[in-house]
Amino acid sequence: MTPIGIHDLELATAHHVLDLGLLATSNGTDPNKYRIGIGQDEMSMPAPDEDVVTMGASAALPLLQRHGADGIRTLLFATETGLDQSKAAGVWVHQLLGLPAHVRTVELKQACYSATAALQAAIGIIARSPEEKVLVIASDVARYELDSGGEPTQGAGAVAMLVSANPALVEIEPISGVHTADVDDFWRPNDSSTAVVDGALSVRAYLDALTGAWDDLAARGGPELAAIDRVVYHQPFTKMAKKAQQRLSQHAGSDLGEVGLQTGSVYNRRLGNTYTASLYASLAALLDHEDDLAGQRVGLFSYGSGSVSELLTGIVQPGYASADRARRVREALDARVPLDVAEYRQLHATELPSGVDVATPRVTKAPFRFAGIRGRARHYERTDGG
């Protein structure tokens, strides 16, 4: 069987950053409640001329620069930050990247899980046509109400993955475990720009979904936990990965300890919650910060509230390490423009007016920007950096 998996991946984030220590001081919270209690240091926040399209295109651009567009016949865009009830956000990305017309483009949605659905769909396409490649983009902005319990778990970011046969990074193994349950732990109504969340229920639903997916993986002949060297997790906040690893160890009867938790959380601690991109930002951090993973088996747990989950495994390939990618991510995170709390609150409260044309101010230094709305249609453009 031809190995299929992640050939290359890249991260992008937003223009602004808020230090959670400032947020804690402003609302009378001990900063350690954020830094230690939930395991978050910073959260990215988009400028007015940024959104999931611009971040997703910015993540994908370096992949095309390194590999070209030859063989790409599918673009799958995973997000829960819907911009249009009909048009896929990936169609705007397709135009910004200058992809050929013969590329099918689809948007997938199921809370934070849909990037994994996109990855599995990509694998299916390539199994049928091994000469093809699939561009998978996961891009999201996590928004909660000001002064709510979810506020310190906001964030923004995107991961783009090139999926192919004979991948250079991670071969995805064919057996996975899945679990679906109707749970009202988190959702975003059509009339709301922020999510509704029951935090305690969401944690329980996440952990129940993890054990349910593990049971399905085991029943289908997947590897024993002792044969999995690292596990990376969807991280609404990085402390959730620690809770998950403890639960999985107890449930499967094999102690994972804390191996991989610190390295797999390096980027998420600074990005905040990136919804669909979160799991794959964790995978990128693991690959970028551990140099002895070649030939090792990595578990990937994907969770989307509501809820759908999947636990899959992959084999890290020789030559996977990239000091350049680690440097690029670090530089992008360091280059974000800091906000004070007043600026953050003003930016958070700013929403596009409905039914009128609007031009956005030029702020982002990323390769692409959201230019505004004309005739109720969104418009995007390349910047000088593109």
Sequence spans of domains, the chain? 4-170+323-382, 171-316
CATH number of 4-170+323-382: 3.40.47.10
Q: Is the pLDDT of residue 178 over 70?
A: yes
Q: What is the pLDDT of residue 139?
A: 98
- Which tens digit of pLDDT belongs to each residue from 263-306? 999 999 999 999 999 999 999 999 999 999 999 999 999 999 99
- 348 among known catalytic residues: no
In order of 39, 60, 247, 257, 261, the CA distances from 242 in angstroms are 10, 30, 9, 9, 7
Residue 131 contacts residue 166 (beta carbons within 8 Å): no
Q: What is the pLDDT of residue 295?
A: 98
- 343 among known catalytic residues: no
Same fold: 4-170+323-382 with 171-316:
yes
Computed over every residue of the chain, the mean pLDDT equals 96
> Choosing from 10, 42, 50, 80, which is the catalytic residue?
80
- Which tens digit of pLDDT belongs to each residue from 337-348? 999 999 999 999
> Choosing from 10, 42, 107, 112, which is the catalytic residue?
112
- 112 among known catalytic residues: yes
Q: Ramachandran region of residue 221, left (φ > 0), alpha (ψ -120 to 50) or beta?
A: left
| Residue 46, both tokens | 């988009």
**Sign of torsion, CA 285 108 54 361?**
negative
Q: What is the pLDDT of residue 198?
A: 85
> Choosing from 7, 94, 234, 348, which is the catalytic residue?
234
* pTM (predicted TM-score): 0.97
Chain centroid, CA 33 distance in Å: 24
Q: Is the pLDDT of residue 241 over 70?
A: yes
Cα(261)–Cα(368) distance, integer angstroms: 33
Fold of 171-316: Peroxisomal Thiolase; Chain A, domain 1 (3.40.47)
| Residue 226, both tokens | 């002792």
